[in-house]
Amino acid sequence: MTAETQARPGLRAWVALTSAEAKMIIRDYANLLIPLGLPVLVLVMSASTAGSEEIPGTDYTAFELFVLPIVLAMVLGYIGMINVPAFLAHYRRAGVLRRLAVTPASPAMVLVAQIAVSAAQALAGVGIALVVAAVAFDARMPASVLAVAAVFALSMAALYALGMIVASLAPSTNSAIALGVMLFLGLGALGGMFGGRQALPEALQQISPYLPFGAAVDAIGAAWAGVPVDIVSILSLMTTVTVGTAISLIWFRWE
């Protein structure tokens, strides 16, 4: 065994770093409560109207095929585009990543730990939303759980890729939050987060399915209903992952 191999952090170091990241997120109540609580509020506000509106040709209501997908996309978007970039920008600004660069625990470990913890947070938020929808509003489960899981994973990768672009370009924590919020609200508005897309101008309605938030909502809704997911949604999400990853690799700086 070489000295280089011995110096590499083991499983214990990975667990310790991930645990530390989890504790930091738990202590930051705002960043924890908003993605967990806001989706539940949206469910409560939308259940009375959307829950009684049946979608022709399916056994589901608008609550299940439109409100729930928007809620799931909201959880992923908020965490991926606001929380993750804010933490990474703070670490870079505070010099944490620079100091880690000269230790066996490389800055890449922080990135992996942050993504792992934020993914767990996203799953918790989604789980809470689904339990509330099922227990309080009798929402029916998806026609294909595997299809929804696959589309959900792709949507997560796409929205996190947008967050990495924010983390790459933002010089400070405040700027990362500002850029993330603008991106989240802008894409969310075009994706139906503040009401049906039919209320948008015609031109914006046309581009909504091609944008990552709208594509995520459409893909999750189709998978939930058990119908084929539109190729436009899949290509939009895959393109976002590819472009976001490429930009992040080029522009992201550890210090």
* DSSP assignment letter at 102: T
Task: Check: pTM over 0.95? Answer yes or no.
Answer: no
Contact 49, 89 (CB under 8 A): no
| Cα angle, residue 255 at apex, residues 252 and 83 outer, rounded to 5° | 60
Query: How many angstroms separate the CA atoms of 246 and 255, rounded?
Result: 19
pLDDT in tens, 186-220: 999 999 888 878 888 899 999 999 999 999 999 99
Query: How many angstroms separate the CA atoms of 131 and 40, rounded?
Result: 10
Query: How many angstroms separate the CA atoms of 186 and 181, rounded?
Result: 8
Query: How many angstroms separate the CA atoms of 34 and 75, rounded?
Result: 9
Contact 76, 156 (CB under 8 A): yes
pLDDT in the model for residue 19 = 84
> What does the pLDDT average to over 169-179?
92
Q: What percent of the chain has pLDDT over 90?
A: 43
Q: What percent of the chain has pLDDT over 70?
A: 90
Q: What is the mean pLDDT of the chain?
A: 86
Q: 92-120: string of b/e by CB count within 10 Å (b at 16+)?
A: bbeebbeebeeeebbbebbbebbbebbbe
- The verdict on residue 16 lying in a domain is no
- The verdict on residue 167 lying in a domain is yes
Position 10 confidence tier, pLDDT thresholds 50, 70, 90: low
- Tell me: pLDDT of 5 over 60: no
- The verdict on residue 200 lying in a domain is yes
- Tell me: pLDDT of 149 over 90: yes
For the chain, what is the domain count?
Answer: 1
pLDDT in the model for residue 37 = 84
SS3 (DSSP) at 82: helix
- Tell me: pLDDT of 31 over 60: yes
pLDDT in tens, 215-234: 999 999 999 999 999 999 99
Query: How many angstroms separate the CA atoms of 188 and 78, rounded?
Result: 10
Contact 63, 46 (CB under 8 A): yes
Which distant-in-sequence residues (6+ apart) come within 8 Å of 14 by Cβ?
109, 112, 113
- The verdict on residue 19 lying in a domain is no
Query: How many angstroms separate the CA atoms of 72 and 216, rounded?
Result: 9
Residue 197, domain extent? 28-251
Highest-confidence range of 28-32, 52-56, 65-69, 113-117, by mean pLDDT?
65-69
